[in-house]
Homo-oligomer: A and B are copies of this chain.
Amino acid sequence: MKIKKIAAAFLASALLGTLSMGSAFAYESCHKSKWGPNDQLGALNNITKDNILAATKLIKQGKKMAMAIETNSKTPAFPPRTYSMTIVKPGQENGQTLGKTKLSYHDDILQTWVGIGTQLDGLGHIGIDNTYYNCTPGIEVTGVSGLKKFGIETFPGVATRAVLLDMTALMGKDIIPEGTPFNQPEIEAALKRQGNMKINKGDVVVFYTGWHKLLGVDDKRNGAAHPGLGVQGARYLANLGVAMVGSDTWGLEVVPFENEGQVFHVHQILLAEFGVFILENVVAQQAIKDGVYEGMITVGPHRTTGSVQAIVNPIFVY
Binding site for B on A (CB under 8 A): 1-3, 5, 14-16, 18-21, 23-25, 27, 48-53, 56, 59, 61-73, 79-82, 84-115, 117-118, 124-132, 137-139, 141-147, 153, 156-159, 259, 261-265, 267-268, 296, 298-315, 317
- Report chain B residues within 8 Å CB of A147: 87, 106, 108
CA distance A62 to B160 in the complex (A): 9
A72 closest partner in B (C-beta) = B305
Please judge, given known A-B contacts A52-B317, A125-B105, A302-B311, whether A14 and B145 are in contact too, CB under 8 Å: no
CA distance A68 to B145 in the complex (A): 21
Between A99, A105, A129, A317, the greatest number of chain B beta carbons within 10 A of the residue's beta carbon is seen for A99
Inter-subunit contact A100/B144 (CB<8 Å): no
Shortest CB distance A203–B (Å): 15
Inter-subunit contact B298/A315 (CB<8 Å): yes
Between A81, A87, A159, the greatest number of chain B beta carbons within 10 A of the residue's beta carbon is seen for A87
Inter-subunit contact B300/A314 (CB<8 Å): yes
Please judge, given known A-B contacts A69-B303, A110-B114, whether A101 and B265 are in contact too, CB under 8 Å: yes
Question: What are the 4 tightest A-B residue pairs by CB atom distance, in nearest-first order?
Answer: A95-B95, A66-B157, A49-B62, A99-B263
Shortest CB distance A66–B (Å): 3
- Report chain B residues within 8 Å CB of A89: 93-94, 142
Q: What would be 14 A-B contacts, judged by CB atoms less than 8 Å apart?
A: A1-B5, A19-B91, A19-B98, A24-B100, A48-B62, A65-B157, A82-B82, A87-B146, A100-B261, A104-B131, A106-B141, A107-B114, A118-B302, A159-B298
Please judge, given known A-B contacts A85-B145, A307-B85, whether A95 and B94 are in contact too, CB under 8 Å: yes
Inter-subunit contact A100/B315 (CB<8 Å): no
Inter-subunit contact A87/B1 (CB<8 Å): no
**Set B59, B68, B101, B296: member contacting A300, Cβ < 8 A:** B68
Please judge, given known A-B contacts A72-B146, A157-B315, A317-B159, whether A114 and B109 are in contact too, CB under 8 Å: yes
Inter-subunit contact A111/B84 (CB<8 Å): yes
Please judge, given known A-B contacts A49-B63, A298-B298, whether A71 and B304 are in contact too, CB under 8 Å: yes
Inter-subunit contact B104/A127 (CB<8 Å): yes
Inter-subunit contact B308/A87 (CB<8 Å): yes
- Report chain B residues within 8 Å CB of A267: 103
